[in-house]
């Protein structure tokens, strides 16, 4: 990924994090990673533990941001979730895999639409 793409991605993750906090989510971790996988945000939504992938784009020429969460990416997020649950000895809890799409309307990156897609895919 180019440094511009990396900057856009980090900016989108920050916007998504603030959006989730404003909606009552409690963020537990950001950019949780190992060499095999990364989960952008891990948060609690009431009594549900959410593993959240953030996808950011500046337009829809390449499709909606959510379309970037491929089956291979989903598999890595699920593996990351399993690792997180094991590492933190979490059992018998409600889980959900969400996608947050951040869509900037222009290249100035000053205005965006944010959409949370709960239960975007199934795992565990």
Specify the CATH number for the domain of residue 94. Answer: 3.40.1350.10
pTM across the whole model:
0.90
Query: Phi/psi class of residue 66: alpha, beta or left (left: φ > 0; alpha: ψ in -120 to 50)?
Result: alpha
DSSP 8-state assignment for residue 66: G
Residues paired with 55 in a beta bridge: 101
CB–CB of 42/51 below 8 Å? yes
In a domain, 122, yes or no: no
* Number of domains within the chain: 1
Instruction: Say whether pLDDT at 5 is over 70.
Output: no
Between 2 and 87, residue with greater pLDDT: 87
Residue 42, both tokens: 């891990």
Element (H, E) at 81: helix 71-87
Instruction: Say whether pLDDT at 75 is over 90.
Output: yes
In a domain, 95, yes or no: yes
The CA distance from 41 to 43, in Å, is 6
Q: Which domain holds residue 66?
A: 3-117
The CA distance from 94 to 4, in Å, is 36
Q: What is the mean pLDDT of residues 68-85?
A: 94
In a domain, 34, yes or no: yes
In a domain, 124, yes or no: no
Report the pLDDT value the prediction gives residue 59, as an integer from 0 to 100.
Answer: 81
The CA distance from 63 to 60, in Å, is 5
Query: Phi/psi class of residue 89: alpha, beta or left (left: φ > 0; alpha: ψ in -120 to 50)?
Result: left
The CA distance from 89 to 110, in Å, is 40
């Amino acid at each position: 990924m180019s440094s511009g793409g990396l900057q856009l991605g980090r900016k989108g993750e920050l916007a998504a994090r603030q959006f989730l906090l404003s909606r009552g989510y409690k963020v537990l971790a950001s950019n949780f990673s190992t060499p095999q996988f990364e989960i952008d945000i891990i948060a609690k939504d009431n009594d549900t533990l959410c593993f959240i992938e953030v996808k950011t784009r500046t337009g829809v020429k390449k499709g909606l941001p959510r379309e970037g969460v491929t089956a291979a990416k989903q598999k890595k997020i699920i593996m990351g979730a399993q690792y997180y649950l094991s590492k933190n000895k979490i059992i018998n809890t409600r889980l959900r895999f969400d996608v947050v799409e951040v869509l900037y309307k222009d290249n100035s990156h000053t205005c965006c639409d944010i959409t949370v897609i709960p239960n975007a895919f199934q795992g565990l």
